[in-house]
Structure 1
Amino acid sequence: MRALLVVNPAATLTSARTRDVLTHALASDLKLEVASTEYRGHARDLGRTAAEDGETELVIALGGDGTVNEVVNGLLHGGPDPERLPRLAVVPGGSTNVFARALGLPNDAVEATGALLDALHTGTERTVGLGRADGVPGTDDAGAPPRWFTFCAGFGFDAGVVGRVERQRERGRRSTHPLYVRQVLRQFLREPHRRHGTITLERPGEKSTEGLVLSIVCNTAPWTYLGNKPVYAAPHASFDTGLDLLGLSRLTSAAVGRYGTQLLTSSPERGPRGKHALSLHDLTSFTLHSQVPLPFQMDGDHLGLRTSVGFAGVRRALRVIA
């Protein structure tokens, strides 16, 4: 099988020695080409080339969720076509690795490589659904290009946290879970719309929901991890269904305490709930509008400010070795 290994050398937990060991192990079973990313968006470009060359059968992403997201967007540049496109495999090398862990892979690169080789030997694969975000016609963001996400997107508060973390990483800080917790607190203290949200949810054939402060869109569960602890914003989200949405219309101190506790104690059976919580399951399409520009993130990658984002849940979008 002809395969491309896309390596992010800057990934949090990916050392040169680990890369060499994994490359040697994979090359023993595959006709392997190795490419290291050199700039933001390079993994996307490599994925697109692999999708278009007609020879690559498998693309392996070694890195964190951002690397995986770029590879997926490259593979799906021309649209989903699971039977034609190369398969995707993931070896976790980031700080959180939500997508890889949601697929059931170990959170250790060496162990995950062993699981990948076992899956290749047995021919084990699955076709997963993905989320897509689009520009909204008739708005300032109409020209925004479509972009795919594997496990989550956020519009509002949580995206602001992601943006803060990215700025800290640009200053040389490592992406750690304590860093995220600190940025959550700072975002809360400086959030101007925590009592009166600016986000409106629109769904075909349904009444609009106004006043959301936070909107988390999930393509699978868990939503994220704190160390080894899974956190479930939308417990029933799945790669086999459409998208799930958690919206909160209040982020006062009392609400943060209540919903923060519910997130920390969430489980596959129960997520956040209450007067100011909106939970929706298996959505095919919907739009989020804001009265003011808000931060937007996908798979933990901050994409700037937007006033409108259209979402679609696309089933059976890509084949994955897992």
Structure 2
Amino acid sequence: MSKRPQIRFIINPTSGPKSRVDVAARIAILLDHEKYKHDIVYTTHAGHAPELAREAAEAGCEVVVAVGGDGTVNEVARGLLNTNTALGILPKGSGNGLARHLKIPLALDKAIQLLNKGQVASIDSGCINGHPFFTTAGIGFDAYISSVFAGNKKRGLQTYVELVMKEVMSYKHLPLKASINGTTFDTDCFVMAFANAAQYGNNAYIAPMADIKDGKLDVCLVRRLDLIKALNLSYCMLTKTLAHSDSAEYFTTEHVKVYMEEPIMYHADGDYLGKATAFDVQLLPLSLKVVVP
């Protein structure tokens, strides 16, 4: 009898909305134990998940499953980059950007059952100033909202939209110099988003045409906004029509460099990373294996 491959589940006990569902119990019931053996580990601090994922990959684990939100998925995926171990996702966050893009079921039981089918595909990832991302990274207003959202007790799309509407008119636009595809230009920047996947999460589409396997980043530049343009921008994001509006300009590229005169906030997969005056953003082609439908 052949040896069963190992699956490790990495659970962030603080991620996402509060739930009475016992994730470990559902895994015990629904995982195909004739096909896989498994273990479950829990994160205890920020930055713990990459260590646990890397350890599992080095031990020959076939799949490592992130159980949590976008931050947990990012951390687990970082530990699996450029390995033969595939990322699995049991979405338990408020945004679930990568899961939604890959059409992984948001319902826990269906997501566990998907793991039993074991279909693995390779996807691209991105890197902003050395920090990997898998859906989007960005500088400007989206990073500012990420910093505010992180400290908010309420989660979900409604809270996110309320924050955007509250903060949009007081946000200070900053000038930047960008180098894309051999062309350098100066512009005002409300948001510059670097999209590997189509959406931030919560079905808010910043780059509806983004292909996570095409070897390209979709760069979305939103210049100076007034209130009417801000409302239109929000509507277009939620209706997947932003690429066809006059609210944003798009570029496709493998590498972007951005320079600022003063520090600006930036994020990766919705996690606020701080401020910087220079950014180097690169696409890492087919660098992560993922369990998909």
Q: TM-score, normalised by structure 1?
A: 0.83
Aligned residues: 285
Matching residue within 237, 257, 264 for 1:287: 257
Question: Which residue of the partner structure matches residue 187 of structure 1?
Answer: 167
Q: Any idea what SS the aligned residue of 2:31 has?
A: helix
User: Per-residue CA shift, 1:210-253, capped at 9, x if unaligned?
Assistant: 2222111111123432xxxx332212111112110111111222
Matching residue within 229, 245, 256 for 2:230: 256
Q: Any idea what SS the aligned residue of 1:271 has?
A: helix
User: Per-residue CA shift, 1:66-88, capped at 9, x if unaligned?
Assistant: 10100111223xxx2xxx43111
Question: Which residue of the partner structure matches residue 110 of structure 1?
Answer: 109
Whether the aligned pair in 1 keeps the contact of 2:136 and 2:199 (CA below 8 Å) is no
Question: Which residue of the partner structure matches residue 127 of structure 1?
Answer: 122
Question: Which residue of the partner structure matches residue 147 of structure 1?
Answer: 131
Q: Any idea what SS the aligned residue of 2:44 has?
A: coil
Question: Which residue of the partner structure matches residue 92 of structure 1?
Answer: 91
Whether the aligned pair in 2 keeps the contact of 1:199 and 1:213 (CA below 8 Å) is no
Question: Which residue of the partner structure matches residue 318 of structure 1?
Answer: 288
User: Per-residue CA shift, 1:37-93, capped at 9, x if unaligned?
Assistant: 11111111111222333x2221111111110100111223xxx2xxx4311111111
Whether the aligned pair in 1 keeps the contact of 2:50 and 2:77 (CA below 8 Å) is yes
Q: Any idea what SS the aligned residue of 1:160 has?
A: helix
Matching residue within 300, 305, 320 for 2:270: 300
Question: Which residue of the partner structure matches residue 206 of structure 1?
Answer: 183
Question: What amino acid is the match of 2:24?
Answer: D
Whether the aligned pair in 1 keeps the contact of 2:122 and 2:289 (CA below 8 Å) is yes
> How far apart in 2 are the matches of 1:20 and 1:165?
29
Whether the aligned pair in 1 keeps the contact of 2:24 and 2:40 (CA below 8 Å) is no
User: Per-residue CA shift, 1:182-217, capped at 9, x if unaligned?
Assistant: 211232133122xxx323221242132422221111
Q: CA deviation at 1:27?
A: 6.7
Question: Which residue of the partner structure matches residue 279 of structure 2?
Answer: 309
> How far apart in 1 are the matches of 2:41 and 2:85?
16
| Superposed counterparts of 1:238-249, under 5 Å | 238-241=211-214, 242-249=216-223
| Superposed counterparts of 1:218-257, under 5 Å | 218-225=195-202, 230-241=203-214, 242-257=216-231
Q: CA RMSD in A?
A: 1.9
Question: Which residue of the partner structure matches residue 141 of structure 1?
Answer: none
> How far apart in 2 are the matches of 1:213 and 1:300?
16
Question: Which residue of the partner structure matches residue 147 of structure 2?
Answer: 163
Whether the aligned pair in 2 keeps the contact of 1:232 and 1:271 (CA below 8 Å) is no
Whether the aligned pair in 2 keeps the contact of 1:132 and 1:312 (CA below 8 Å) is yes
Q: TM-score, normalised by structure 2?
A: 0.90
| Superposed counterparts of 1:13-52, under 5 Å | 13=17, 15=19, 17-24=21-28, 25-26=30-31, 28=33, 29-52=35-58
> How far apart in 2 are the matches of 1:187 and 1:289?
24
Whether the aligned pair in 1 keeps the contact of 2:257 and 2:281 (CA below 8 Å) is yes
> How far apart in 2 are the matches of 1:16 and 1:6?
18
Range that drifts further, 250-259 or 153-162? 250-259
Q: Does 1:9 align with 2:4?
A: no
Question: What amino acid is the match of 1:180?
Answer: Y
Whether the aligned pair in 2 keeps the contact of 1:73 and 1:148 (CA below 8 Å) is yes
Query: Where does structure 1 differ by over 4 angstroms across 4 or more consecutive aligned residues?
Result: none
Unaligned runs of 5+ in 1: 135-145
Whether the aligned pair in 2 keeps the contact of 1:247 and 1:278 (CA below 8 Å) is yes
> How far apart in 2 are the matches of 1:259 and 1:96?
19
Question: Which residue of the partner structure matches residue 277 of structure 1?
Answer: 248
Q: CA deviation at 1:176?
A: 2.2
Unaligned runs of 5+ in 2: none
Q: CA deviation at 1:261?
A: 2.9
> How far apart in 2 are the matches of 1:236 and 1:290?
28
Q: CA deviation at 1:314?
A: 1.5
